[in-house]
Amino acid sequence: MNLGVHPPDTGLQGLTAGVDEAGRGPLAGPVCAAAVILNPRHPIAGIADSKTLSAVRREQLAALIRDQALAWSIAWASVEEIDRLNILRASLLAMQRAVAGLKLSPTQVLIDGNHCPALPLPVEAVVGGDRLVPAISAASILAKVARDRFMVELDAQCPGYGFAKHKGYPTAEHRAAIERLGPSPYHRLSFRLHVKTDQ
- Residue positions in the annotated binding site? 20-21, 112
How would you label 54-68 residue by residue, b for 16+ Cβ within 10 Å and e otherwise?
A: eeeebeebbeebbeb
Sign of CA dihedral 94, 3, 126, 50: negative
Annotation: binding site for a divalent metal cation: 20-21, 112
User: What is the Cα–Cα distance from 93 to 85, expressed in whole angstroms?
Assistant: 9
Residue 148: CA count within 13 A, CB half-sphere: 16
Single-letter amino acid code for the residue at 75: A
